[in-house]
Chain A
Amino acid sequence: MPALALAAAALIALALPIPLQVAGYSYFVTVAFLVILNAMLGVGWNVIGGWAGQFDFGPNVFFAVGAYVAALLAVHLALSPWLGLVAGVGAAVVICAVLTWPITQLRGHYFAIATVAIWMIAQPIGATWELINGSRGLFLPLRPATGPLDAVVSLRFPGRSKALAFYYVILVLFAVTLVLLRMVDRSKLGFYFRAIRDDQEGAEGIGIDSRLYKVIARSITAAVFAAAGVVYAFWALAVFPEQVLDLNWSTFPMMATVVGGIGSLWGPVVGAVLLIPISQLMGATLGAGPLAGRGIDLVVYGVIIMLVAALRPNGLLSLPWRAWGRRLVGRRR
Chain B
Amino acid sequence: MAPAAEAPLLEARELHVAYGAGVRALQGVSVRVAPGEVVALVGANGAGKTTLLKTLAGLLTPVAGEVWFDGRRIDDVPAPDRPRLGMALVPEGRRLFSRLTVAENLALGAFTNADPAHRRRMLERVWELFPVLSARAGQRAGTLSGGEGQMLAIARALMLRPRFLMLDEPSLGIMPRLVDAILDVLRRLHREERLAIFLVEQNVPAALDLADRGYVLQTGRIVLEAPSRDLLASDLVRKAYLGL
User: What is A's interface to B at a CB cutoff of 8 Å?
Assistant: 188, 191-192, 194-195, 197-199, 201-210
Contact = CB atoms under 8 A, between A and B. Distances in A.
Contacts of B19: none
19 contacts: A191-B107, A192-B111, A198-B97, A199-B98, A201-B59, A201-B91, A202-B91, A203-B97, A203-B108, A204-B59, A205-B83, A205-B88, A205-B89, A205-B95, A205-B157, A206-B88, A206-B156, A207-B80, A208-B80
A193 to B, nearest CB: 11
Counting contact residues on chain B (CB < 8 A from A), the size range is 20 to 34
B80 A210 contact: yes
Interface string B71-83: 0000000111111
B112 interface: yes
B189 interface: no
A191 B80 contact: no
A210 to B, nearest CB: 7
Interface string B86-111: 00110100111111100010011101
Contacts of B159: 206
Contacts, number: 71
Interface of B: 57, 59, 78-84, 88-89, 91, 94-100, 104, 107-109, 111-112, 156-157, 159-160
B95 A199 contact: yes
Contact of A191 (B84, B95, B108): B108
A308 to B, nearest CB: 19
B83 A207 contact: yes
Contact of B97 (A195, A204, A207, A209): A195
A191 B83 contact: no
B175 to A, nearest CB: 23
Contact of B100 (A194, A204, A206, A210): A194
Nearest to B78: A209
Given A191-B108, A207-B84, 6 more contacts: A188-B111, A191-B111, A194-B100, A206-B88, A209-B78, A209-B81
Contact of B104 (A191, A201, A202, A204): A191
B84 A205 contact: no
Nearest to B142: A198
A199 B97 contact: yes
Contacts of B111: 188, 191-192, 206-208
A207 B161 CA distance: 12
Given A188-B111, A195-B100, A207 B81 contact: yes
A274 to B, nearest CB: 24
Nearest to B58: A204
B98 A206 contact: no
A195 B108 contact: yes
Contacts of A191: 100, 104, 107-108, 111
A207 B89 contact: no
Contacts of B112: 206-208
Contacts of A208: 80, 108, 111-112
A330 B94 CA distance: 43
Contacts of A197: 99
B104 A206 contact: no
